[in-house]
Amino acid sequence: MPADPSRIVTARQMLAHLGLTPADLAAQPEPARRIPTLAEYLPVVVAAASPGTRRTYGTYWNRMALVLGHLRLDEVTASDIEALMRQVTATARSRRTGRQGRHAGEHVIAAARAVYRRAIADSYLTAADSPAHRIAKPRRLPNPRRALTPGELQDINVVARTSGNDVILDALLLRLHTETACRRGGALALRLVDLDTRHALVRLTEKGGTLRWQPITPILAVRLQEHAQVRGAVLPADRLLRYRNGQALSSRRYDHLWKRIGDHLPWVAAQGISTHWLRHTTLTWVERHFGYGIARAYAGHTDRRGPATTTYIKADLHAVATALAAMTGQPHPLARGQDGQSVPAPRQG
């Protein structure tokens, strides 16, 4: 349908009144989106990160903001990030379990990749534009951790029970980690509601938000309940593990514990033995005596990496309880075949 000439005239008069021409109404390209600087964008990354990610990468994000914060996201080069990695590696604090700064350097790359993954998701850049993904992470060295011998485990427990300002707490910690093979974070997150004394279980919340019930010996369940009650845990959400003053346990207790054990046992300090070695010790024993599937369940591993057959290698809570009963020599209400079987197990003091 042809346009009404009178309307065209009226439209031209209105455009002239506004100081415009028909060409001005043609579609104009949208202005390019402003790309923020690294310092401007990091708060967005931090806000979107999980608490665990913030704990792991927070220090390195701060270093990135300090050194590269003035640059736009698209101005940062792979060389900038690699130079920062070298600097952080060279200045990393010397720790008892350190690897000459290699872990710090690896974390710099991982932290930078986290920033650029978020920038790609927010459409500031494309995947090909990320400088962090053009840098190879430092090659990981073989893990030095191993299973402790029964004698080594006993020596560690003796020192924990006979030195320090809270031997009850330290002995309880070592027992908990040896029985459950849990990580430090799993123990620190335990609440009163996570203890089931009737079935001798603790509910562990660990890496990646994984959640599982883990068997413990009935005597440990009772000791944990007594510990919590004596030290002020009342509400279901109250932390289970506590200092004598009633405050919830922090990771510093582990640092002090292993420092003290290392002072009494030089080989502990020399090898950098830590709580995670207890996890290796227990899981190695379970794998040797009960097989890979039960060891995997005991560890709380839920990932699908590895051969396809791992999908079918599963174990239930009763199998884990049976392994615990054999390892500790103590019956468990959920264990199968409580026939007094005796399997050589690590001595736990």
pLDDT of 343 reads 43
| Dist CA 214 CA 203 (whole Å) | 6
> Quick check: is 282 in a domain?
yes
| Residue after which a domain boundary falls, among 82, 102, 134 | 134
Domain with 178, as residue range(s), is: 150-328
The answer, yes or no, to whether residue 342 has pLDDT greater than 70, is no
| Dist CA 280 CA 286 (whole Å) | 10
Cβ of 150: how many Cβ atoms within 10 Å?
15
Q: For 235, how many CA atoms within 13 A lie in the half-sphere containing its CB? A: 3
Mean pLDDT of 315-332: 94
Collapsed DSSP state (helix, strand, coil) of residue 95: coil
Do residues 190 and 294 both lie within one domain?
A: yes
246: left (phi over 0), alpha (psi -120 to 50) or beta: left
| Dist CA 68 CA 85 (whole Å) | 12
Segment 246-287, tens digit of pLDDT: 999 999 999 999 999 999 999 999 999 999 999 999 999 999
E strand intervals along the chain: 195-196, 201-205, 211-215
Q: Residue 103 — very low, low, confident or very high, per pLDDT cuts 50/70/90?
A: confident
| Tally of structural domains, the chain | 2
Q: Residue 25 — very low, low, confident or very high, per pLDDT cuts 50/70/90?
A: low
102: left (phi over 0), alpha (psi -120 to 50) or beta: alpha
Q: Phi, psi at residue 17, to the nearest 5°?
A: -65, -35
Tell me which range, 16-25, 166-175, 301-310, is most confidently predicted by mean pLDDT.
166-175
Q: Phi, psi at residue 242, to the nearest 5°?
A: -140, 155
The answer, yes or no, to whether residue 307 has pLDDT greater than 60, is no
Q: What does 218-244 look like in DSSP terms, one character per residue? A: HHHHHHHHHHHHHTT--STTSBSSB-T
Do residues 74 and 161 both lie within one domain?
A: no
Do residues 164 and 126 both lie within one domain?
A: no
Contact 176, 222 (CB under 8 A): no
Q: Which of 28-37, 48-57, 118-127 has the lowest mean pLDDT?
A: 28-37
User: Residue 236 sits in a domain of what CATH number?
Assistant: 1.10.443.10
Cβ of 176: how many Cβ atoms within 10 Å?
24
Mean pLDDT of 54-60: 91
Mean pLDDT of 30-48: 88
Do residues 174 and 304 both lie within one domain?
A: yes
pLDDT of 102 reads 62
Mean pLDDT of 317-324: 95
Contact 62, 38 (CB under 8 A): no
Six token digits for residue 343: 């399997």
> Quick check: is 302 in a domain?
yes
The answer, yes or no, to whether residue 98 has pLDDT greater than 60, is no
Q: What's at 54, amino acid-wise? A: R
Pairwise pLDDT comparison (10 vs 300), residue with the higher score: 300
> Quick check: is 197 in a domain?
yes
> Quick check: is 312 in a domain?
yes
Q: What angle do CA 93, 262, 300 make, to 5 degrees?
A: 80
- Neighbour-count burial of 56, counting CB atoms closer than 10 A to its CB (0-12 exposed, 13-18 middle, 19+ buried): middle
Q: Phi, psi at residue 258, to the nearest 5°?
A: -75, -30
Contact 35, 3 (CB under 8 A): no
Rounded alpha-carbon distances, angstroms, from residue 220 to 4, 204, 207: 91, 15, 24
Do residues 228 and 302 both lie within one domain?
A: yes
Mean pLDDT of 68-83: 95
> Quick check: is 82 in a domain?
yes
Do residues 157 and 130 both lie within one domain?
A: no
Any residues with CB less than 8 A from the CB of 82 and at least 6 apart, and which?
A: 135
| Residue after which a domain boundary falls, among 103, 134, 165 | 134
To 10 degrees, what angle do helices 150-162 and 167-180 make? Answer: 150
Do residues 108 and 218 both lie within one domain?
A: no
pLDDT of 339 reads 47
> Quick check: is 13 in a domain?
no
Mean pLDDT of 190-217: 92
pLDDT of 114 reads 95
Do residues 174 and 114 both lie within one domain?
A: no
Do residues 308 and 230 both lie within one domain?
A: yes
Do residues 293 and 193 both lie within one domain?
A: yes
> Quick check: is 179 in a domain?
yes
- In which residue are the tokens 């990496």 written? 305
| Dist CA 224 CA 115 (whole Å) | 41
Tell me which range, 205-214, 260-269, 304-313, 328-337, is most confidently predicted by mean pLDDT.
260-269
Do residues 194 and 51 both lie within one domain?
A: no
> Quick check: is 335 in a domain?
no
| Dist CA 181 CA 41 (whole Å) | 39
Q: What does 47-106 look like in DSSP terms, one character per residue? A: HHS-HHHHHHHHHHHHHHHHHHTTSBTTT--HHHHHHHHHHHHHHPPP-TT--TTHHHHH
Mean pLDDT of the chain: 86
- The answer, as to whether pTM is greater than 0.85, is no
Segment 278-302, tens digit of pLDDT: 999 999 999 999 999 999 999 987 6
| Dist CA 290 CA 345 (whole Å) | 12
Do residues 161 and 303 both lie within one domain?
A: yes
pLDDT of 341 reads 46
